[in-house]
C-alpha cells in the first residue's frame, strides 16, 4: 500500500527510523486498534495513535464530555461539553490527521457485545476506570485471540502491561492474563473511581502515552513486549518499578481447569466504560 506525498511528509520522522521505515508505516496504516474509553488515559492514547498513522481506530465510550473531564481528558474542549466523547475525540483526531479512519462505538461495552466489537480489530487498548470492564475486556480479548494493552491510574500512581494469553510464552506456558495479575474481581467500591478518589491531571497523560507506545510496538513487532511484565509508576516519587507476571495455573480463565468458557460465565454485571 503506497503512501501518498502528504503521508510521506507527515511521517518523515518515522520513515527515517530503521525499525519503522516505509514497511512499518504501512503496517500502522493497515492496523485496526480499538480503544476502550475516551477519557484520561484514552485522550493521549487516541491522539498519539492518530498522529502515528494507525489506519483505523475504534473508540468505545458511552459518556458525553463534562467540564470536570477537561482537567485531564485533553482530547476534548470546553466548546464540546455535552457532546458524545466518541464524537469529540473523532473531531480532534481527524483535525490532527485526516488520513485516519475513526469508528465510533458510542455505547457501553457488555458481555453481549464485547466479542462482536473486539473481533473486528487487531489490538485492543483498555483505558477504562473500573474493574468489571477491565475483566470483561481482558476475557473478551482472550476469547477473540487479540492482544490487549491495559493501563490504570490511581491518585498519584499508575500501571501498564500487555496481555496475550492466546499466545505461548518462551517457557511453554500461556502468557498471563489480567486475572493472573488481579485474581478474582474485587468487590464493588473497594477501589473508588477517580471522581471519588481524585487523580492528578498529568498522570493519565503519562500512562496513556506509554500505552500508545506499547500498542505501536505490538503493531510493528519491535522492541520487547510488556507481555509477562508489569510497569508501575509512582508520580510523587518520580520512580518506575517493574515486576514479572506469570501464568497462574489456577486462574479460572486460562488455568488447567478453566470454568470461564464464555463471557456468559464472567460476572461483569457492573461493567461500565466511564473514565
Distance CA 7, CA 242 (A): 37
- Whether the CB-CB separation of 121 and 58 falls below 8 Å is answered with yes
Nearest to 191 by CA among 152, 142, 236: 152
- Whether the CB-CB separation of 147 and 126 falls below 8 Å is answered with no
Residue with cell 465510533: 104
Q: Note the pLDDT tens digit of each residue in 14-41.
A: 999 999 999 999 999 999 999 999 999 9
Listing DSSP states for 147-199 in one string gives EEEEEEE-SSEEEEEEE-TTSB-TTSSBPP-HHHHH-SPPPTTSS--HHHH--
Q: Note the pLDDT tens digit of each residue in 93-145.
A: 999 999 999 999 999 999 999 999 999 999 999 999 888 999 999 999 999 99
Q: Is the pLDDT of residue 222 over 60?
A: yes
Check residue 273 and give its pLDDT. 38
Mean pLDDT score, 172-185 = 91
CA Rg, the chain, in Å? 18
- Whether the CB-CB separation of 234 and 184 falls below 8 Å is answered with no
In the chain, the domains with their CATH numbers are: 31-265 (3.40.50.720)
Q: Note the pLDDT tens digit of each residue in 230-240.
A: 999 999 999 99
Q: Note the pLDDT tens digit of each residue in 179-215.
A: 999 988 877 666 666 677 789 999 999 999 999 999 9
Query: What backbone phi and psi angles, to 5 degrees, belong to 22?
Result: -65, -45
Q: pTM for the full model?
A: 0.95
Percentage helix, strand, coil for the chain under 3-state DSSP, each rounded to 5: 35, 20, 45
β-sheet bridge partners, residue 174: 168
Mean pLDDT of the residues in the chain: 93
Amino acid at each position: 500500500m503506497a503512501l501518498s506525498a502528504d503521508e510521506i511528509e507527515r511521517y518523515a520522522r518515522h520513515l527515517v527510523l530503521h525499525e519503522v521505515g516505509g514497511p512499518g508505516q504501512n503496517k500502522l496504516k493497515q492496523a485496526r486498534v480499538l480503544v476502550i474509553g475516551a477519557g484520561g488515559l484514552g485522550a493521549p492514547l487516541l491522539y498519539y495513535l492518530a498522529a502515528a498513522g494507525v489506519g483505523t481506530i475504534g473508540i468505545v465510550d458511552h459518556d458525553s464530555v463534562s467540564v470536570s473531564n477537561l482537567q485531564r481528558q485533553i482530547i476534548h474542549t470546553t466548546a464540546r461539553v455535552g457532546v458524545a466523547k466518541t464524537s469529540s475525540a473523532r473531531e480532534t483526531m481527524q483535525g490532527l490527521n485526516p488520513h485516519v479512519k475513526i469508528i465510533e462505538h458510542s455505547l457501553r461495552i457488555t458481555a453481549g457485545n464485547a466479542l462482536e466489537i473486539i473481533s473486528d480489530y487487531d489490538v485492543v487498548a483498555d483505558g477504562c476506570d473500573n474493574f468489571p470492564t477491565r475483566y470483561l475486556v481482558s476475557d473478551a480479548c482472550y476469547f477473540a485471540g487479540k492482544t490487549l494493552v491495559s493501563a490504570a491510574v490511581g491518585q498519584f500512581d499508575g500501571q501498564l502491561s500487555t496481555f496475550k494469553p492466546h499466545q505461548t510464552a518462551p517457557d511453554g506456558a500461556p502468557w498471563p492474563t489480567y486475572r493472573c495479575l488481579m485474581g478474582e474481581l474485587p468487590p464493588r467500591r473497594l477501589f473508588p473511581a477517580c471522581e471519588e478518589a481524585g487523580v492528578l491531571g498529568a498522570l493519565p497523560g503519562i500512562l496513556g502515552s506509554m500505552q500508545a507506545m506499547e500498542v505501536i510496538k505490538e503493531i510493528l513487532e519491535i522492541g520487547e513486549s510488556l507481555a509477562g511484565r508489569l510497569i508501575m509508576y509512582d508520580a510523587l516519587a518520580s520512580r518506575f518499578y517493574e515486576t514479572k507476571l506469570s501464568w497462574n495455573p489456577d486462574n479460572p480463565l486460562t488455568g488447567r481447569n478453566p470454568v470461564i468458557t464464555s463471557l456468559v460465565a464472567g460476572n461483569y454485571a457492573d461493567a461500565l466504560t466511564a473514565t
